[in-house]
Amino acid sequence: MPITMADVEEELTREPVQLEGGYTDRDSLLYAVAIGMAKDPLDEKELEYTCESVGQRVVPTAATVLSRGRRPVSSDAPARTPGLTSKMNFTMLLHGEQRLVVHQPLPQAAETLVTNRTTGVYDKGEGKGALVTTETDVNLKDGSPLFTLGSTMFYRGDGGFGGTAEGAPEPHVLPDRAPDVTCEMPQREDQAMVYALCGDRNPLHRDPGFAQRAGFDRPILHGLCSYGISCHAVLKAMLDYDETQISGFDVRFSTPVYPGETQVLEAWRDGNVVSFRVRIKERDVISINNGKCTIR
């Protein structure tokens, strides 16, 4: 059944529920491996992210997999009823944009408080799909802010419900000059299988039959895996692997990526902003565009 404006209004006025969350060093270490770190097991810079006896660093974009809540903070909190997206076409879903604000460097393990909310629903028109924007605030158990995530999800089969397209997030504009730095990031054929173990079990990324029903000839790589790979590349090429310099990391996904393809970072540094995009070497297409990494 198509969604309606009443469904949208109900979603946007829902009271967010704060959940208890948390993660262990297994989660942060696995994430670093899943985005391609430590292919060289003697690389000490990357071992600081993948071996706890060498270092305690956490890739900032690991926030995307370390933000899950477990249970309401209050035992008498109302049960969370299914929201708007439960009525939308999951098979036709693509990740459009991802945003991150880092309030303090991520610890390797933590107990957290997690609050999720839907911030916008935008109608691109009949046959053109709908955009849903969400925000997740994650604090440490003492209440201090840890990070804030924002995302834009593109539901290709759910446009035409009578809403507006105005007000959706605007993309960061890249510099009009040749990149200051390029960095090739070869990837594994089984990348999606490894990344799925971080918690994203969407069959679009592993099940060939599901991928074909969604319009792809084979499974595509998780957009958030490519997001992490782009952060890995910025750390490597621009920041000497110092994750504490990153206070924000935003991207727009423009073309699906297949596991095993070589992702090439093209980056520019202007003051406290690293602008970037990612090109797929084998197909010469842009997979991530309008990237903005904000430096402290």
Q: How far apart are CA 30 and CA 194, in angstroms?
A: 9
Architecture of the domain spanning 5-79+86-295: Roll (3.10)
Give the global pTM: 0.91
Q: What are phi and psi of 224, to 5 degrees?
A: -70, -20
Q: Which residue has the tokens 């899943």?
A: 34
pLDDT tens digits along 78-127: 555 568 988 888 778 888 999 999 999 999 999 999 999 999 999 988 88
pLDDT tens digits along 178-219: 999 999 999 999 999 999 999 999 999 999 999 999 899 999
What is the arrangement of strands in the sheet containing 273-280, beginning at the earlier edge strand?
69-72, 18-23, 110-125, 129-140, 145-155, 93-102, 246-253, 285-295, 273-280, 263-270, 181-185
pLDDT of 65 strictly over 70: yes
Asked if 294 and 247 touch (Cβ cutoff 8 Å), the reply is yes
Per the structure block, which two tokens stand in for 148?
A: 């804030």
Q: Report the number of secondary-structure helices (H) and strands (E) in the chain.
A: 6, 11
Q: How far apart are CA 4 and CA 9, in angstroms?
A: 9
pLDDT tens digits along 32-52: 999 999 999 999 999 999 999
Per the structure block, which two tokens stand in for 150?
A: 């924002």
Among 187, 170, 183, 172, smallest CA distance to 267 is for 183
pLDDT tens digits along 145-163: 999 999 999 998 888 898 8
- What are the respective helix, strand and coil percentages of the chain, to the nearest 5? 25, 35, 45
Residues labelled catalytic: 200, 205
Q: Where do the domains of the chain lie?
A: 5-79+86-295
Q: Which residue has the tokens 């969407």?
A: 202
